[in-house]
Structure 1
């Protein structure tokens, strides 16, 4: 019994010495047998990638003809995302977290004005991490399930694109159209 008291006193002295001369009362410590609480690990912030991310091996353009711009026959723009497979791919499926390489052409629905095209940029594919908010929500939702080798058309309403602020030649509240060729997933 005397040995236990001596060990307890030595342990108490050691703990007090380690804590310093704090005048504040010590916080109560949980019992040694209580499990430690898990702490949340912060989710890393993934910045929007500009230029060429390096992890993707060199990707060649699809070799498919540049899509033709078509104006709608109706003045009424859809209020929900429209996804249409123009050609179904047979390769790997795009999944969240994977680096994707695509050829694409985008235009404003109402007047057919092209605002961007990899074909016009010398055929250099665009690369992004799928599902990491590096592209508009219309792409993250509309490319789900697409396979390499496929060509897909997306008609994207403003709330899934650039909303009421627009972007470059995309005006506020524009519905935009894309034709996207999925070239590679890594």
Structure 2
């Protein structure tokens, strides 16, 4: 190996070693983790409206996104509770985690409710399972990691690897 190729190899070796952790068996900390562990339920941000007649907004958030599905009830409904397999109709607003930028909304289509079966194929996995346990008349924020959303490939306006946030209003529930 000549001097020039040895110098070119140094950065590669440094990068490989940087990912190996310290001698005491602890891994080195990633200063910007791609996601963090979080409880599956959370307190909703106070800035999300509790008025179900009002189009909600998703606040920007500079914290790393959660690695798993997280739900936060803004308004706890008092109607029928959604179980897996329930036929439901929801109002929703979808936004990108971090920026809060809206990418889709039933509110933008004249509040046309979206019908689907909770926990069944037809909507992204995180959305379908995120409404389970919600009661009719409620509003919930569902934060969906990429693997329960559109995955690495993305779809339409959703880039691959995107964490999504939905504000969902439970309009009706029919338990089959």
Bin for the TM-score computed over the shorter chain: 0.5 to 0.7
* Aligned residue in 2 for 1:70: 59
* Aligned residue in 1 for 2:160: 172
CA distance in 2, matches of 1:160, 1:102: 19
Helix, strand or coil at the partner of 2:147: helix
In the TM superposition, what are the counterparts of 1:107-146 in structure 2 within 5 Å?
Answer: 107-146=95-134
Q: Which runs of 5+ in 1 are unaligned?
A: 1-61
CA distance in 1, matches of 2:169, 2:81: 13
1:32-68 Cα offsets, whole Å, 9 max, x none, are xxxxxxxxxxxxxxxxxxxxxxxxxxxxxx9521111
* Aligned residue in 1 for 2:87: 99
* Aligned residue in 2 for 1:16: none
Structure 1 stretches of at least 4 aligned residues deviating more than 4 Å after TM superposition: none
TM value normalised by structure 1: 0.63
Size of the aligned set, in residue pairs, is: 124
